[in-house]
Amino acid sequence: MRVLVTGGAGFIGSHVVDELLHLQHDVVVVDDLDPAAHDGMPGGLSSDAEYVWRDVRDPSTWPGLLDGVDAVCHQAAKVGLGVAFADVTDYVSRNDLGTAFMLRAMHDVSFSGRLVLASSMVVYGEGRYQCAHHGVVRPGPRRMVDLEAGRFDPGCSVCDGSLVAERIPEDHWVDPRNVYAVTKLAQEGLCSAYEREHPGCAATLLRYHNVYGPRMPRDTPYAGVASLFRSAYERGDAPKVFEDGGQLRDFIHVTDVATANVLALTSERAISGPLNICSGTPRSILAMAEAIRPAGAPHPEVVGGYRLGDVRHVFASPDRAAHLLGFRAAIGFEEGVRAFATAPLRSVVEPSLARTTHA
């Protein structure tokens, strides 16, 4: 099978490429090496893939790129909460306009194979919460007066009582709370619209949870929290943890995420719609910061405060992915974090790939 992987030089995309190549698939990568995630040519890329160093938003990228392609794995995106709302144009351009250009190119060649999208848990916004008196409720945005006072957990939208966070199933409501989240939900909608209008195409929307592992970019606000903590320790600093550190997330190793992508691309049954790609076991942000702390390094510093657009708890049920895709995370938290503590982050090498097409 020939697979096009957009963003295939990136953190997650490069692991997907590796697994596809290991299974003897033919892989073509398109990537523009966005400087927000890459400081030059990244190390660790396989010379067995074909690389096209172009921007998916450039119409001249696409002629011939989809020739012979059986499946598309769309990883190209700007990720993370970002620096400020001023990032809005870049997020919308890279994520939504980039997806639109890709889908237009697919339409032009009547592509009807599998489409796998790298989506995100951020589409849910706040997680799923249960009130003892009112059942499952939808909390509103956290109030600044509460955040300033150190009250970080949302209250019941009916009685303002305390809530218990629960795992989110895929049919839960979506409520994106920041620019990045809005763009990921738009990507899902665009891919689903393409599927509906192109018989034979199946769009699998993989909602990644907090992915960590080797090849994460270092020292960038667009990286995941695990990389930010690693980078702080390497500088000899105590990583700073917002709020009280009790925010619950589901951390999943990048190798497992790559496996989920390959299953979605190659399984006998094509799967449409969203799938949570998670471990099923939530951990606190503070627990992650402590777990990757090297011996002798300073303990994480809980600094309070908050980031507008962030949410308190979000973790999900892995059951649908297990049932429909046969996917269960195989790398446990302790094992994965222990390896990640010394794993290479993004490095810079000279471009010396054997099968490279330069624009």
* Strand-pair category, 71-74 with 114-120: parallel
Query: Which tokens in the block code for residue 277?
Result: 């790609």
Task: Give the C-alpha separation, 214 to 254, whole Å.
Answer: 8
Pairing of strands 2-6, 240-242: unpaired
Q: 222 an active-site residue?
A: no
Torsion of Cα atoms, 264 then 69 then 96 then 53, to 10°? 120
Beta bridge partners of 212: 253
Q: How many residues does the chain have?
A: 359
Query: CA 228, CA 235: separation in Å to the nearest integer?
Result: 11
Task: Yes or no: say if 68 and 2 are a contact pair by the CB < 8 Å rule.
Answer: yes
Alpha carbon separation from 252 to 14, 45, 312, 330 (Å, rounded): 16, 22, 18, 9
Strand partners, 74: 6, 117
- E strands along 112-245, which residues? 114-120, 128-131, 135-137, 163-166, 202-208, 210-212, 240-242
Tokens of 316: 């999900």
Active-site option among 180, 194, 208, 233: 180
Measure the CA–CA gap between 144 and 126, rounded to whole angstroms: 15
Beta strands in the chain (DSSP E): 2-6, 26-30, 50-52, 71-74, 114-120, 128-131, 135-137, 163-166, 202-208, 210-212, 240-242, 248-249, 251-253, 273-277, 283-284, 301-304, 356-357
Q: Which residues are catalytic?
A: 180
